[in-house]
Amino acid sequence: MTPEPLSIDRRVRTAWPLATGAVALALLCACSRPELPKPVATPMAKGEVITFQNQKAPADLRLAAVGRESDRALSVPGRMAWDEDHTARIFAPYAGRVERVRVSLGQAVKRGTALADVSSSDIGQAQADLHKARADESVARAAAERARELAEAGVIARKDLQQAEADLARNRAEISRTQARLAQYGVTANAVTQSLTLTTPLDGIVVERNVNSKAEVRSDIGGQPLFTISDPGTLWVHLDVDETELAAFRPGQAIELRAAAWPELSFPATITSISESVDATSRTVKVRAKVPNVEHRLKAEMFVTASVTRPSTLPTVPADAVLLKSDKLYVFVQNAPGQFERREVTARSVGPQAWLVVKGLAAGDKVVVGGALYLDQMLDSAR
């Protein structure tokens, strides 16, 4: 039996699913076909500089700007002391005995105030020397006048007159010397009293007294002064600064002091001088500052702590920007978009996250963070 031929509509209905499946299969094959990788441009290397084509660096490279070391506060130990510009220490100029002490500890005194009376045979000797010199001068003056008259009359030679005048000049010089010696300490020269009154050369307070009445004193040995007169309205503070922190101090700089006796207060001070030498044992430098002390809260020999802000001086970079190669340190610095320079630096670690750069970088430079090793390998292989 001959099969009945298919109609046009039936043929179309039969072919449509086949065509649709072929198209879907073709699209599926096209979507699943892998793309060929794009060729990566090889960077160019010249010296220590690596340059990527079209100014395009690898996308995973990160940059960071070089910062600057932050200001930090320093605390330095110090010791209060008398202001030596307004302090006088009184010693006995002659050996003898203290007959009377005229002042007490803590007493306010004015310039010229009597401190103590001292009796000394040395003072009596100096007074006697002055009287003897005056007597010798009187004799020498009479001898010179007589020699002048005789010389004018031609009785004696001219050289005898010159000798008499020379003797008179020597006696007058001796009078001046002994008068100056006694006047230096305010000793009376009218009589041989063997008495000397010690006085203060400036206004202030008796801050130290190391003598009592009837005490024997000597002038030929060292020791404590009999009296110390000072004005506690101004004090000095001596700071022991580690030599590595000396850059934070300069004359004229303002600092703040704190004392355990006044924990809630701070005292302003001004640096006046910095020592020219370093202590060989402690490796510290003496720094002196002047402290106003109008209310007398600070005391000499009191321990204090000075606070000063150390200004930023050196640039810093993140720790993962530094590459250690052999025994040298390097960073990659961006010179231009897509261009990086391998630069040797001198740096030291200031913690787990940062390095302080002593030499090789400036604040504002951009460095590669986390990709220094990758660039280093590419630079070496591209040469």
pLDDT over threshold 50, residue 7 = no
User: pLDDT band for position 266 (50/70/90)?
Assistant: very high
Instruction: Give the residue, 2 or 104, on which the prediction is more confident.
Output: 104
Length of the chain: 383
- Mean pLDDT of all residues belonging to the chain: 83
- Please say if the pLDDT value at position 345 is more than 50: yes
More confident residue, 107 or 180: 107
251 and 296 together in one domain: yes
Radius of gyration of the chain (CA): 48
Nearest to 177 by CA among 129, 137, 136: 129
For 256, the domain range is 75-85+230-310
Residue 41 pLDDT class (50, 70, 90 cuts) = low
90 assigned to some structural domain: no
Higher per-residue pLDDT: 180 or 118: 118
In this predicted model, what pLDDT tens digit does every residue of 141-151 receive, in sequence order? Answer: 999 899 888 88
Identify any residues that bridge with 304 across adjacent strands, giving them in sequence order. 78, 259
Residue 216 domain flag = no
**Domain end (from 294, 310, 326):** 310
Residues 88, 90, 93: CA angle, nearest 5 degrees: 140
In a domain, residue 36? The reply is: no
Beta strands in 83-146, from DSSP E residues, in sequence order? 87-90, 96-101, 108-109, 114-119
- Final residue before a domain boundary, out of 164, 193, 222: 193
Residue 182 covered by a domain: yes
Is the same domain home to 252 and 305? yes
Residue 163 CA from chain centroid, whole number = 64
Q: What is the CATH number of the domain that holds 48?
A: 2.40.420.20
The CATH number of residue 163's host domain is 1.10.287.470
pLDDT tens per residue across span 97-115: 999 999 999 999 999 999 9
**Quick check: is 57 in a domain?**
yes
pLDDT in the model for residue 71: 58
CB contact at 8 A, 127 and 190 = no
Alpha helix locations (H) across 196-281?
none
Which residue matches tokens 């993140």?
Answer: 318
Distant-in-sequence, close-in-space partners of 1: CB < 8 Å, separation ≥ 6: none
Model confidence at 86, pLDDT cuts 50, 70, 90, reads very high
Report how many domains make up the chain: 3
Picking from 281, 310, 339, the residue at the C-terminal end of a domain is: 310
* 301 and 334 co-located in one domain: no
Amino acid at 129: D
Flag whether pLDDT at 15 surpasses 50: no
Q: Residue 58, SS3?
A: coil
